[in-house]
Structure 1
Amino acid sequence: MTSFPRPRLALIAAVAANGTIGLNGILPWHLSADLKHFKNLTSGKRIVMGRRTWQSFPKPLPNREHVVVTSLALTLPDGVLAVRSLAQALALPQPAEQPVFVIGGNAMYLEALPLADDLYLTEIEANVDGDTTFPAWDRAQFREASREPHAAPLRLGGPDVAFSFVHYVRL
């Protein structure tokens, strides 16, 4: 079997100040700017996700190669690949210059974090109720490469909340 160099691995998530990323299997907010940001970063790329994240989508996202990590036998639409592990997903042939994006959920982030080259986080400046969190990570292992602040357009049942698109790169 031919081995390929591991592609650059990026994690992408919207994360509340208290680490929340989900509630009842979905995002606990609707943030149009974040959805556009996600689309811009992941369009034309491979996205890797766990089964529950996959099942939260009504259909495959356009212009992306979907890889679902699962131990279950799933019926998947054409163009969506199931693998048994993150290692299998990362071993798939991939252009070296294109990152692979892990898009959730918590178990996938936890497994991928030690390997991550980049973190693309939408940092929401509020604590949000949820049942799923982004794993704790060592900020000393990353540097902030860019930050794009947005002033208060996100409403979470109270006053508007600010958020930032932040790109971290492993040192």
Structure 2
Amino acid sequence: MVFRPFVVIAGVCALLIAGCASGPGFSGDHINKRLDPADVLADVDGAMDETVVWGGRIIQAEPKADSTTLEILAFPLYRSQQPDAGKDSLGRFLVIYPGYLEPQDYSTGRMVTAVGRLEEIRLGQVGKADYRYPVLRGDDLYLWPPADEAREPRVHFGVGVGIFR
């Protein structure tokens, strides 16, 4: 048997890279990553039927007979497509996802990233103010783990080194 170090090294590298992968990985030429909710409201006709990837903080989840509607406060996305809640919000949008989503899982404050097709602008209210919501027909969702359950290890330096999960 001939030892092939290249094959072994390539296999180990592939496993290491796969182990580092995180997030939803939504991709495709059909996704318009430049549009945000404010852009859609500024040019409704030009934005309809576009497929977008947006994310943010869940404000409300409302299950219905055949779908669940999520109201989301949008934030810019990191390269990993995780919402960056440290930036200013981009407005609100609705995702209509086919089927049932558990409101306890999709609870207020959780972060989510969605891919969907822009279908309409729906009138609603935020408090007593009128609001126009871009509405996505949700094709795919990624619910981010709560901040206190972040996957990356926490390293604490002091007298010695400790790694906590």
If the TM-score is normalised by the length of the shorter chain, which range does it land in? under 0.3
Task: Give the TM-score normalised by structure 1.
Answer: 0.24
Which structure is higher in strand share? Answer: 2
Task: Give the TM-score normalised by structure 2.
Answer: 0.25
